[in-house]
């Protein structure tokens, strides 16, 4: 758990520290960063290079295209970050376990992760094992580097930190938190291009509104994410708590 004195912290190891805070410096996350509700440290992996050219990468053993981040340089960068043993050590990687809302909730509840951002063809396998890095993917597509993936993960965590979101409740009702996608939202104007807001939402009957939203959320989930729907059905059938890190976070 985060102590009362130390805010939640993300320590990012990257070849491009100037990319941070980037989008995390504006809006919700940015205001929270400025007011000390969380902390961000972006450390340059290149500072741990030891040769004259400060090289961080080399050609893949066994041949093939591109370059690979060196094990010794990256290990030195991780060691220099001097992370408390209770903090998760993540490596953003398309080979990792796909990030889910349930993993985000866990990460937000802790003291904050170390996040290694790969570049080029990735990182030497030996450092992943030697420093016990947990590979985390943000989806089945390939980015050119781990920084944007790290930002996505940090953003998802930060909005859950106490005091960051305007209304405490808005984190509990939304997509994934109950294994369902979120129901449709409406606001002014009352009629838009001939389309009125569904009448029930204006009825003031909270129970009816809640029932309508539940039904909409279920219909959306069934149609768009049969995988989530099936997992929810299975979970209800067995009455068991769903396993960690499944897609129905």
Under the criterion CB under 6 A, does residue 118 sit at the interface with ligand SAH? yes
Place of tokens 């893949």: 60
CB atoms within 10 A of CB 174: 15
Q: Which is nearer to ligand SAH, 1 or 142 (CB)?
A: 142
Q: Site for ligand SAH (CB under 6 A): which residue of 45, 71, 108, 149?
A: 149
Under the criterion CB under 6 A, does residue 67 sit at the interface with ligand SAH? no
Under the criterion CB under 6 A, does residue 113 sit at the interface with ligand SAH? no
Q: Site for ligand SAH (CB under 6 A): which residue of 111, 137, 245, 247?
A: 137
CB within 8 Å of 77: residues ≥ 6 apart:
13, 43, 45, 47, 48
CB within 8 Å of 115: residues ≥ 6 apart:
10, 11, 12, 13, 90, 91, 92, 146, 150, 153, 154
Q: Site for ligand SAH (CB under 6 A): which residue of 95, 126, 208, 224?
A: 95
CA distances from residue 162 to 3, 99, 105, 112, 142 in whole angstroms, order as listed: 13, 21, 12, 14, 32
Report which residue's Cβ sits closest to ligand SAH: 118
Least separation in angstroms between residue 12's CB and ligand SAH is 11
Q: Which is nearer to ligand SAH, 156 or 217 (CB)?
A: 156
- Neighbouring C-alpha atoms within 13 Å toward the C-beta of 106: 11
Least separation in angstroms between residue 147's CB and ligand SAH is 8
Stretch that binds ligand SAH, among 1-9, 91-99, 158-166, 234-242 (CB under 6 A): 91-99
What residue ranges bind ligand SAH (CB under 6 A)? 92-95, 117-119, 121-122, 137-139, 141-143, 145-146, 149
């Amino acid at each position: 758990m985060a102590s009362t004195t130390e805010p939640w912290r993300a320590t990012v190891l990257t070849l491009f520290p100037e990319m941070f805070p980037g989008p995390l410096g504006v809006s919700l996350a940015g205001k929270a960063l400025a007011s000390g509700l969380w902390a961000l440290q972006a450390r340059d992996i290149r500072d741990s290079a030891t040769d004259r050219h400060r090289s961080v990468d080399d050609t893949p053993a066994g041949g093939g295209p591109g370059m690979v981040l060196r094990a010794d340089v990256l290990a030195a960068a991780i060691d220099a970050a001097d992370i408390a043993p209770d903090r998760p050590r993540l490596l953003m990687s398309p080979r990792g376990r796909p990030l889910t809302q349930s993993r985000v909730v866990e990460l937000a509840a802790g003291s904050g992760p170390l996040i290694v951002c790969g570049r080029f063809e990735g990182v030497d396998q030996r450092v992943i094992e030697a420093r016990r890095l947990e590979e985390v993917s943000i989806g089945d597509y390939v980015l050119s580097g781990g920084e944007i993936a790290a930002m996505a993960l940090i953003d998802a965590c930060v909005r859950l930190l106490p005091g960051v979101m305007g209304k405490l409740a808005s984190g509990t009702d939304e997509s994934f938190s109950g294994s369902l996608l979120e129901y449709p939202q409406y606001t002014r104007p009352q009629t838009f291009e001939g389309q009125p807001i569904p009448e029930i939402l204006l009825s003031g009957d909270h129970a009816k509104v809640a029932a309508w939203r539940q039904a909409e959320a279920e219909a959306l989930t069934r149609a768009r994410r049969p995988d989530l729907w099936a997992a929810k059905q299975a979970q209800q059938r067995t009455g068991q708590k769903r396993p960690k890190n499944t897609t129905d976070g």
